[in-house]
Structure 1
Amino acid sequence: MPEKRTAKAELTRSGIVDAAMRLFREGGYDGTTMRAIADEAGVSLGSAYYYFSGKEELVQAFYDQIQVEHATAAEPAYGSPVFADRLRGVMEAFVDVAEPFHDFGGQFFKNAADPTSPLSPFSHQSAPARQASTDLFRRAVDGSDLKVSPALRAELPDLLWLLHMGVVLFWVHDDSEGQRRTRTLVAGLVPLVDRSVRLTRLPVVRGLVDDGLGLVRQLRGA
């Protein structure tokens, strides 16, 4: 696809994604076909395949769409210089944006949990959405009142994204109204993260942090 799409093409593409999400919610990911998606979107099967190679690419488009909405919802959090406020704002913004899709979040997770699946958040195909999400946590760190070593500051956005993935997993299994328990988790987790990260400046902790960062780099290069 060209980098610049016409307004009509973008509207068609968005309509196909929206149709896919409706059908995924109603009949599940595995039970939905590309033909059904095309019919729901009011386009030919050939047109659907012109924009998307298959259901997996549709899900990737959905991931990208969620990241755009997450970034917009998180924007007010950056108005505060306090790291804890920024982090909580970013994490709560995801819960707000993702709430309408909670009912079928487990269906996606079933496929995304397969390490060989392109739907995995760690896959090559998910790299753009993963980077967009990590950038939100990078913004939460940059410009905040958080003072840490340059080495930890460089790795912290990726570590926060991994923490975010743990919260997402909790969210998938959270059947409380409005995912109340996930919101409680975020509210309690953020102060712990904030205090723990600030403690890394203490000499007695610094050596452990350096060892931990060394392990992260080693695993990344393995």
Structure 2
Amino acid sequence: MTKSEQTRQLVAEVALRMFREIGFAKTTMRSIAAEAGVSVGNAYYYFASKDDLVHELYLHVQAEHAAKAAKALEDAADLTSRLKATLHTGLDVMAPYHRFGADFVATAIRPTSPVNLFAAGSTAAREASLDIFRGAVEGAKPPAPKKVRADLPELLWLCYMGVTLFWVYDTSEGQQRTRRLVDGAVPLITRGLALARIPGVSKILDDVLSLSRSIRG
């Protein structure tokens, strides 16, 4: 690793630590530079703004989530247990940021925000998260119904976004209400998917998939 790469990594690591410890709103580029022992200009050379560092946070969280999910999925075969493992490990990884979760939501929820998870600049982090759900679906035994298999990872990721929003505002001890939501909702989802195998009922699912495809990007 070159010295330039080392400096960039240092600035990113310091920023992520400060996000965890004092929150996004209170962290400034000047304070990041001071903590990292570099000039403010040097910090801006690597990251044009705090928003750029939020992308680093997204990537960091997704990488950690992928590693934890892969480990948890080793002992999970059916889709219900694999999806529970994927969602719970996601909550585990996000836990250190819970106190400041609303700050990130307020920043990212604006349609024009460069750190909006649906923005072009967030493509790498979004794809990394989708890959986690693809792994959960593709390794399931028995496999998910064929007609929904290709669309399922993205639909589950959207559910995960909803769970994340619930988690941000969950003030229960250790966010146990969110954990109960996951444990209760996942079996409902997987039982609902079984309807794809019932000829008459599956038409409703076809309509859902058609709507989902029509509103993409």
TM-score by length of 2: 0.92
CA distance in 1, matches of 2:81, 2:120: 31
**One of 54, 62, 68 as aligned partner of 1:59:** 54
1:3 alignment partner in structure 2: none
CA contact (8 A) 1:13 1:51 kept: yes
Counterparts of 1:11-30 in structure 2, within 5 Å, are 11-25=6-20, 28-30=23-25
Q: Secondary structure at the match of 1:32?
A: coil
Structure 2 distance, partners of 1:47, 1:56, is 16
**Pair 1:142-2:138 in alignment:** yes
Matches within 5 A, 1:34-113: 34-79=29-74, 80-113=76-109
1:28–1:78 Cα change, 3 Å = closer
Q: CA deviation at 1:204?
A: 1.7
- Partner Cα distance (2:167, 2:51) in 1: 22
Q: Deviations over 1:17-55 (max 9, x none)?
A: 232234445554344321221111111122212221111
| TM superposition shift of 1:70 | 0.3
Structure 1, unaligned runs of 5 or more:
1-5
Please state if 1:132 is matched with 2:128. yes
Q: Distance in 2 between matches of 1:96 and 1:27?
A: 19
Alpha carbons of structure 1 residues 120 and 53: separation in structure 2 relative to 1, 3 Å: same
Identity of aligned residues (%): 48
Query: Aligned-residue CA RMSD in angstroms?
Result: 1.8
Partner of 1:178: 174
> What letter corresponds to residue 132 of structure 1 in structure 2?
A
Name stretches of at least 5 consecutive residues in structure 2 with no aligned partner.
none
Aligned to 2:117: 121
Question: Residue deviations 1:151-184, cap 9 Å, x none?
Answer: 4111110000000000000110011221111111
Q: How many residues align?
A: 216
Report which stretch shifted further, 149-158 or 59-68.
Answer: 149-158
Contact preservation (8 Å) 2:62, 2:125: yes
- TM-score for the superposition, normalised by structure 1: 0.90
CA distance in 2, matches of 1:145, 1:45: 52
